[in-house]
């Protein structure tokens, strides 16, 4: 009788071992997923590389020593004087620089030519003091939600930047140019506005864009900016 009980105990232990082994094989056969997947919280990455498209501080232009004014001289006076070191103007120039709060921005009419669309970006001194601008503007096309359309514009090379002195009410302009999308075949979008950042400033001015579609990607989609010159570009 004792021998029979001992045999039953060994049989029960063997059965338990077999059941455990079968359970392990079943788990392995299901890819090792012995429990429901854990929920991991997080945030989705932006759909494009322009994670902070409405922040134009990274496009705020500083004098680069390249580019030559080709503008009308009716709105202010431009001189080649002044110096820039390491991408920033001297303290004297900084003290006379026009700040965003002292300016209004506008975009002039298109002056097309040779497959190019050419617009003047105009800054007008609305303050009560004389101030200066020098170099390139920052610019970004945005949609109604404030999301940037297309990459940052590129700076035109080939001319020398000049310091433009603006008395109250006077203006300076910089060219904004891109290839006609109907000719280049670039993908287009129609902006709601153009954000314009004065040279060496971080705050931008919003100008309603009324000139239709602009290139945002694909062939010949680059938008280019020139340096500021005196006048309105007309």
Q: Which two tokens stand for residue 119?
A: 């617009």
Query: Contact at 8 Å (CB) between 175 and 69?
Result: no
Nearest to 170 by CA among 98, 67, 101, 65: 98
Confidence grade of residue 220 (pLDDT, cut at 50, 70, 90): confident
CA distances from 54 to 50, 101, 149, 151 (A): 9, 18, 10, 12
Statement: the pTM of the whole predicted model exceeds 0.85? no
With a cut of 90, say whether residue 3 has pLDDT above it. no
With a cut of 70, say whether residue 65 has pLDDT above it. no
If you average pLDDT over every residue of the chain, what do you get?
Answer: 73
Average pLDDT over residues 195-212: 97
With a cut of 80, say whether residue 43 has pLDDT above it. no
Q: What residues pair up with 229 in beta bridges, in sequence order?
A: 173
With a cut of 60, say whether residue 221 has pLDDT above it. yes
């Amino acid at each position: 009788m004792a021998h029979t009980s001992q045999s039953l105990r060994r049989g029960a232990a063997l059965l338990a071992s077999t059941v455990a082994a079968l359970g392990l094989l079943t788990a392995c056969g299901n890819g090792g997923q012995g429990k429901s997947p854990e929920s991991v919280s997080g945030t989705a990455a932006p759909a494009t590389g322009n994670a902070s498209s409405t922040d134009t501080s990274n496009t705020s232009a500083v004098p680069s020593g390249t580019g030559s004014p080709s503008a009308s001289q009716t709105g202010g006076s431009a001189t080649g004087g002044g110096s820039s070191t390491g991408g920033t103007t001297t303290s004297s120039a900084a003290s006379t620089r026009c700040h965003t709060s002292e300016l209004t921005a506008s975009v002039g009419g298109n002056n097309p030519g040779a497959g190019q669309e050419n617009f003047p970006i105009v800054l007008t001194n609305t303050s009560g003091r004389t101030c200066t601008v020098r170099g390139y503007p920052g610019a970004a096309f945005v949609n109604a939600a404030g999301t940037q359309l297309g990459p940052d514009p590129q700076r035109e090379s080939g001319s020398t930047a000049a310091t433009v002195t603006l008395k109250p009410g006077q203006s300076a302009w910089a060219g904004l140019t891109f290839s006609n999308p109907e000719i280049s075949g670039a993908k287009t979008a129609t902006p709601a506005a153009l954000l314009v950042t004065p040279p060496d400033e971080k705050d931008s001015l919003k100008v309603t864009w009324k000139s239709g579609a602009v290139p945002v990607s694909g062939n010949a989609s680059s938008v280019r900016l020139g340096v500021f010159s005196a006048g309105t570009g007309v």
